[in-house]
Copies of this chain bind each other. A is one copy, B any other.
Amino acid sequence: MADNSLIGQLVDALRCLPSVGPKSAQRMTFHLLERDRNGARQLAQALLAAADNVGNCHVCRTLSENDVCRICANQRRDQSQLCVVEMPADVQAVEQSAVYGGLYFVLMGHLSPIDGIGPEEIGLDHLVRRFDEGDIKEVILAANPTVEGEATSHYIAEMARSRGIKSTRIAYGVPFGGELEYVDGGTLTHAFTGRREV
């Protein structure tokens, strides 16, 4: 049904969702039209409202419909700790674990000079100003454990060091609840070199 009928147009439009191929898009289209037109209308309204009104927090750069997101606006959070992550979804993941009570800074990506993504594109000019305000005592680096994420963390750690701010890296190791058999060699190397006395 890749045609110009309204049904065909809806199938095509659903392809903008990640990991939705032609078959899934067709199944979603028939599901909505046969069983859930109200859901379809509500989804349309939610898409328009979010696309038009969600911007970035002026303080931490995460996605937010307000100028300052709820975490940055919350004075009860520890103002001396700043956790640096790549994406808004990472903030969600850390918040869900409830392990951390400080503030965040969201890079919205990582350094990637080959793609023209330098320090300014990931907001490090912004981050420097926060360092200089003097509230932050510890920067917790939590970029993704990839080559680009590591390079980005290293760059930020240098920035922090030159201003006398402590920087830490979240631990590498075997994931809790996993099976050792299926853990890759790089992770195991980190787990052994980072072993602690019990």
Q: Chain A residues in contact with chain B, CB under 8 A?
A: 1, 5-7, 9-10, 12-14, 16-19, 24, 26-34, 36-37, 39-51, 53-54, 63-65, 87-89, 92, 108
Q: Is the CB of B51 within 8 A of A7?
A: no
A15 (CB) vs chain B CBs: closest residue:
B39
Compute how far the CA of A31 lies from the CA of B40 in the bound complex, rounded to whole angstroms: 19
- Shortest distance from the beta carbon of A121 to any chain B beta carbon, whole Å: 14
Q: Is the CB of A45 within 8 A of B46?
A: no
- Shortest distance from the beta carbon of A62 to any chain B beta carbon, whole Å: 10
Q: Is the CB of A30 within 8 A of B88?
A: yes
Identical chains in the assembly: 2
A13 (CB) vs chain B CBs: closest residue:
B46
A87 (CB) vs chain B CBs: closest residue:
B30
Q: Is the CB of B27 within 8 A of A63?
A: no
Contacts of A40 in B (CB 8 A): 16, 47-48, 50-51
Compute how far the CA of A94 lies from the CA of B20 in the bound complex, rounded to whole angstroms: 22
Q: Is the CB of A48 within 8 A of B41?
A: yes
Q: Is the CB of B42 within 8 A of A44?
A: no
Contacts of A17 in B (CB 8 A): 17, 28, 31-32, 43
Q: Is the CB of A51 within 8 A of B41?
A: yes
Q: Is the CB of B6 within 8 A of A46?
A: yes
